[in-house]
Amino acid sequence: MTRTVLVIVGMFMLFPVAARSQVAGTTLIGVAAAEMRDVTYGWSATRQVLGKVVYNEKNERIGIIDDIIIAPDKAVSYAIIGAGGFLGVDRHDVAIPVSQIKLQAGKFILPGASKQALEAAPQFEYAPPNK
């Protein structure tokens, strides 16, 4: 009898957890608890990426990360780096695959790059908004 009561009580204790679980055909809004650790240890675009200086492997300043482009497949794929110019005048924006940028000793490094190479690269222009 006591064992049966414990089993029934145990089932009722599990019920609220089961009620919150995802049901087939429903959409999970937000981040699952299992993913939250990855989110909290990830990069914040606002705090740690945007506006940061990009250097080459010779420690020469070559540009600033102005934007992050998220591809339609939801992968972060390009950093928009502003190169050249002075105070935003005659600046040249370039799209660089995020995979080419390395984080070393707290600095963003683009190996093999120079200001001249970025200025010679095709200029990035935003697509007009869909109406």
Sketch the domain layout of the chain as residue ranges. 2-39, 44-120
Across the strands, what pairs with 68?
Answer: 79
Tens digit of each residue's pLDDT (9 = 90 or more) over 11-69: 444 444 444 455 555 665 776 776 776 666 666 677 778 899 999 999 999 999 999 98
Structure tokens at 56: 């080459």
Tens digit of each residue's pLDDT (9 = 90 or more) over 68-114: 988 888 777 899 999 876 665 677 899 999 999 999 998 999 999 98
pLDDT band at 128 (very low <50, low <70, confident <90, very high): confident
The helix/strand/coil state of 68 is strand
Query: Which is more confident, 64 or 8?
Result: 64
Name the nearest CA neighbour of 54 among 117, 120, 9.
Answer: 117
Phi/psi at 78 (5° precision): -140, 140
The fourth-level CATH superfamily of domain 44-120 is: PRC-barrel domain (2.30.30.240)
